[in-house]
Chains A and B, each alone.
Chain A
Amino acid sequence: MSFLEIESIQKDYPDFSLEMGLSCEQGEIVVILGPSGGGKTTFLRIIAGLIAPDRGRIFLEGKDITGLPPRQRGVGMVFQDFALFPHYDVAGNIAYGPKAHYPRSEPKQLAAQVEKLLERFSLPGFGPRRIQGLSGGERQRVALARALAINPGLMLFDEPLGSLDATLRKELRGELRMLQREMGYTSISVTHDQEDALAVADRIVVVRDGRVVQTGTPEEVYARPKTAFVATFFGDANLIPMPDGLRFIRAEQIALASENPSTANLSLDITVSDIEYRGRDYLVKGQSNLGKDPLQLCFRMAHRPRVGDSVRIAFPESSLLPIMDDREIIKGV
């Protein structure tokens, strides 16, 4: 049995139902990814014990924890808004868990433990600070330190980077990865941001409407999406209807015919309808004879193409992958 084994958990709401399973190995970083309202957070809260499932069981290290209250699960959680206690200072927040577990612990020992954690999270001397005066990044680190203070085997993150600005996000992504390597906990996080997911995950679980759509390494999910939904969720994907079914190709796999890579054995003309400059390249949309949806492709050109230009493009036939068409359901969402 895996470190964490979740057997087809079910939870019914009047307007929504959830049915998901998951198993993950010790030390693994699993990211649950999906659009908002897809049941990710509910699933996370079921693992934490904050919501009781209607059916299904959860095993942690071989032990059935389905009926256990949250406090007996030994699971750490970092909330989206961090849920720091405003009436405690930083040290008080971090010491909260150890105190709850060992009410009779030695205050000196506890203080030392807290100080160690503060140093680990580059917050030396922050102990007596008030929560209200902390920046977003500092708050996140305190929330992490608080959750890790009880040495949980499993850490849950609810949109861990959700409330931070772009620069800080990138910085903290790296920090989260490092921290996990260092402490060795198993982590399950929830996000709607595919970039975050791709950046930190060992394994991504794509979730939609309360069901798992695809599970795999970031590379797998990105390069070999099972359905049109997964394909489009990770960005610039072209869905091309063919006589034998729907095919898929990523925008960056299409090049200018003039650049002519040897493998690109298919070529066609498109009329540029829209251009988006993205720094390292241009995302170009163009009308082709492959369907009424415009093709998307990435150009790394010295000069900017103009709308209306006719351009010849090429790509290898082998990168046109068959894919399950679930677009109708997407529109229904």
Chain B
Amino acid sequence: MFERKTGAELTVGGSRAWLSVIRLLPWLLVAPLFLVPFGAAVSAWSFGATPSNQASLVDRLLAVLSSPSILAALRFSLVQALMSTILSLALGLPGAWLLARHRFRGRSLYAALSGIPFVFPPVLFSLGFVRAWGRNGLVNAGLMSLFGWQKPPLDFAYSLSGVVIAHALLNFPLVVALVGAVWSRLPRTPEDAARCLGAGEGRILTTITLPSVLPGIAAAASLVFLYCFMSFAIPLTLGGGPNFATLEVSIYASVIGEQNFAKAGTIALLEGCCAVGVLVLYSLLNARSAAASTDAPAERVPLSALRPSARRLSVAWLLASGAMALSPLFALLVSSFTRVGRWGGAPTWSLESYFKTFTDPASLRAMVDSALLALVVAGLGVGIATLLLIGERRSGRTGIRGVFFALPVALSSVMLSLGYLVLFPLGASVGVLAIVQATAAYPLAWRALSAARSRIPAGLDEAAMLLGASRPRTLATVDLPLLRQALLSSFALCAAISLGEINAALMLNPADFPLLGLRAYRLMGSYQYPLACALGVIVCLFAGLAFAAADRLSDEAR
């Protein structure tokens, strides 16, 4: 086994000093990007502390923790996140299996659905969800006209089920992608061995396959849990009331409704601790699942090789789950093409929203500016991720370093925004916004790059060095070209995140820099819902284009 360790020992000779500088850089350059705003947010707990009411941090924490509404929010955050995670797994695991073990047309498209939660502004998502699955939604309308029902048959949108289903629709593609990736790298021989020993397929699944995929499933589950735990607009809007408020909502309400920064800062600390705990759990599970995988993906069989009944079921599942994941987006698309009925008439199909959008100089400028910002953010995000990648051992993002630099995932946008509000009360320049968005985006880029690099055989770097290449030259001629595809797709992902990001944009409010997401949000706040939908569709289109372009470029590279 000791021969395995050798890959990590490229630190001999002259490259050692160079490498230690590279290893140090992230701590100096990247860490402040999220530590400073988080520190600022938490430091808000001392705001308004006068000599007469100088309570210590502990006192304030205790006071917040003993408040019934905060406790209820904590409990609800945990409960709905748990339920959402379970449903996400139920919806995602069959897809993960199909993705890992089968070839079919549209496979990469199905995998790409996992980008939706990062691209879709949550407010637009909850409206899209309501438009698709609400009482007056497309699904209900369709069912009612099909069967002549008088009442909408589906009425789950405004209840705990609504929250859980919405979260599941948003997050199950993530389970598909994450678990699918782990699953496809599992060695298949143990399954074949079990088959020869007479085990049935069900038995193989429960005794061989699932136990090996389990760390991967648990890792994906903890990530989905984290996202749901920090969810903001969806629980309140789709839950149907204040008993569906998460901690995130409590922070927002404390800042906006009560201007009580001390309370907000303390809740932020509480939420941050929970989230970091979950993140640590995720990292541990992720490391375990990475240890269980092989390098070479198992061969995939075409769907047509399945038994006819299984094939039909698989195709139906893929279509149904894909349609469900896309339903909010589709509903948004439909809304953007409708117009309010004039003088009592029924709503009509119309290109009015798009006409208005494309003839409005401000919207056009928003498109250009958003695209520019997205490019800058993507450059920054991928740059940071690459910096982290260079300084890390091949074994990947494990240990304290791995958790530490993934922290932006666990620091919610409302929490960070609170920090930026403390740091930049006047609103910041667009440069600051770019840095903030890049901070939110880089952990995902880093994840993708790290995974891609772990698939590059260790020997290639060594071969290059033995052939006389210096460490930078090795990086430039071996690692980066082989990471080209991953670099491009993380670039697209970061760009898409920037396009869909709205919380930091709202809070920072870069003066004189209209952004698409921001504009959609403001349109929604001024009666112009179809226009907002049109812009939402354009945001998603931009993001989709970014992904497609990355895919195309990497195809050409192949």
User: A69 near B464 (CB under 8 angstroms)?
Assistant: no
The 8 A CB mask of A92-118 against B (1 = contact, 0 = none) is 000011001100000000000000000
CA distance A67 to B473 in the complex (A): 20
**Interface hit among B7-15, B330-338, B392-400:** B7-15
The 8 A CB mask of A16-41 against B (1 = contact, 0 = none) is 10000000000000000000010101
- Given the known inter-chain contacts A69-B15, A79-B459, please indicate yes or no for A100 contacting B9, CB distance below 8 A: no
Q: Which residues of B, 454-513, contact A by the 8 Å Cβ criterion?
A: 457, 459-460, 462-470, 473, 477-478, 481-482, 484
Shortest beta-carbon distance from A110 to chain B in Å:
14
B470 / chain A contacts, CB cutoff of 8 Å: 69, 71, 100
Q: Is A307 an interface residue (CB 8 A)?
A: no
User: B469 near A83 (CB under 8 angstroms)?
Assistant: no
Q: Is A297 an interface residue (CB 8 A)?
A: no
B147 / chain A contacts, CB cutoff of 8 Å: none
CA distance A169 to B310 in the complex (A): 45
Q: Is A51 an interface residue (CB 8 A)?
A: yes
User: A41 near B463 (CB under 8 angstroms)?
Assistant: no
CA distance A73 to B4 in the complex (A): 23
Shortest beta-carbon distance from B542 to chain A in Å:
30
Shortest beta-carbon distance from B266 to chain A in Å:
45
- Given the known inter-chain contacts A71-B465, A79-B459, please indicate yes or no for A51 contacting B9, CB distance below 8 A: yes
User: B466 near A48 (CB under 8 angstroms)?
Assistant: yes
- B463: contacting residue among A52, A69, A79, CB under 8 A: A79
Shortest beta-carbon distance from B490 to chain A in Å:
18
User: A97 near B6 (CB under 8 angstroms)?
Assistant: no
User: A13 near B466 (CB under 8 angstroms)?
Assistant: no
B3 / chain A contacts, CB cutoff of 8 Å: 37, 41-42
The 8 A CB mask of A41-82 against B (1 = contact, 0 = none) is 110010011111000000000000001111111011101110
User: B468 near A45 (CB under 8 angstroms)?
Assistant: no
B5 / chain A contacts, CB cutoff of 8 Å: 13
A126 / chain B contacts, CB cutoff of 8 Å: none
User: B457 near A83 (CB under 8 angstroms)?
Assistant: yes
A87 / chain B contacts, CB cutoff of 8 Å: 481-482, 484, 557
Interface size on B, residues (CB 8 A): 31
CA distance A87 to B469 in the complex (A): 16
B12 / chain A contacts, CB cutoff of 8 Å: 49-52, 67, 69-70
B11 / chain A contacts, CB cutoff of 8 Å: 52
- A81: contacting residue among B2, B9, B457, CB under 8 A: B457
Question: Of residues B1, B2, B470, which shows the largest number of chain A Cβ atoms within 10 Å of its Cβ?
Answer: B2
B457 / chain A contacts, CB cutoff of 8 Å: 81, 83
- B469: contacting residue among A49, A50, A71, A146, CB under 8 A: A71
CA distance A65 to B189 in the complex (A): 44
- B459: contacting residue among A52, A72, A83, A150, CB under 8 A: A83
CA distance A79 to B6 in the complex (A): 14
- Given the known inter-chain contacts A70-B466, A150-B468, please indicate yes or no for A45 contacting B477, CB distance below 8 A: no
Q: Which residues of B, 1-49, contact A by the 8 Å Cβ criterion?
A: 1-3, 5-6, 9-15
- Given the known inter-chain contacts A13-B5, A83-B460, A85-B460, please indicate yes or no for A71 contacting B467, CB distance below 8 A: yes
Interface size on A, residues (CB 8 A): 39
- Given the known inter-chain contacts A15-B1, A42-B2, A83-B460, please indicate yes or no for A97 contacting B467, CB distance below 8 A: yes
A291 / chain B contacts, CB cutoff of 8 Å: none
User: B460 near A49 (CB under 8 angstroms)?
Assistant: no
Shortest beta-carbon distance from B148 to chain A in Å:
59
- Given the known inter-chain contacts A45-B6, A96-B477, please indicate yes or no for A83 contacting B462, CB distance below 8 A: yes
A124 / chain B contacts, CB cutoff of 8 Å: none
CA distance A73 to B14 in the complex (A): 12
B470: nearest residue on chain A (CB-CB)? A71
B473 / chain A contacts, CB cutoff of 8 Å: 100
Question: Of residues A37, A86, A146, which shows the largest number of chain B Cβ atoms within 10 Å of its Cβ?
Answer: A86
A146 / chain B contacts, CB cutoff of 8 Å: 463, 467
Q: Is A147 an interface residue (CB 8 A)?
A: yes
User: B467 near A68 (CB under 8 angstroms)?
Assistant: no
The 8 A CB mask of B145-170 against A (1 = contact, 0 = none) is 00000000000000000000000000
Shortest beta-carbon distance from B483 to chain A in Å:
10
B461: nearest residue on chain A (CB-CB)? A83
The 8 A CB mask of A284-312 against B (1 = contact, 0 = none) is 00000000000000000000000000000
The 8 A CB mask of A133-166 against B (1 = contact, 0 = none) is 0000000000000110110000000000000000
22 A-B interface contacts by CB (under 8 A): A15-B2, A37-B1, A41-B3, A48-B462, A49-B12, A50-B12, A50-B465, A67-B13, A69-B12, A70-B466, A71-B467, A73-B466, A77-B466, A79-B463, A83-B459, A86-B482, A87-B481, A87-B557, A96-B467, A96-B469, A100-B473, A101-B468
Q: A50-B465, A85-B482, A96-B467 are in contact. List 10 more A-B contacts (CB 8 A).
A: A42-B6, A50-B9, A50-B466, A68-B13, A68-B14, A71-B469, A83-B457, A85-B463, A87-B481, A96-B464
Give me the interface of B with A, judged by CB distance under 8 Å.
1-3, 5-6, 9-15, 457, 459-460, 462-470, 473, 477-478, 481-482, 484, 557
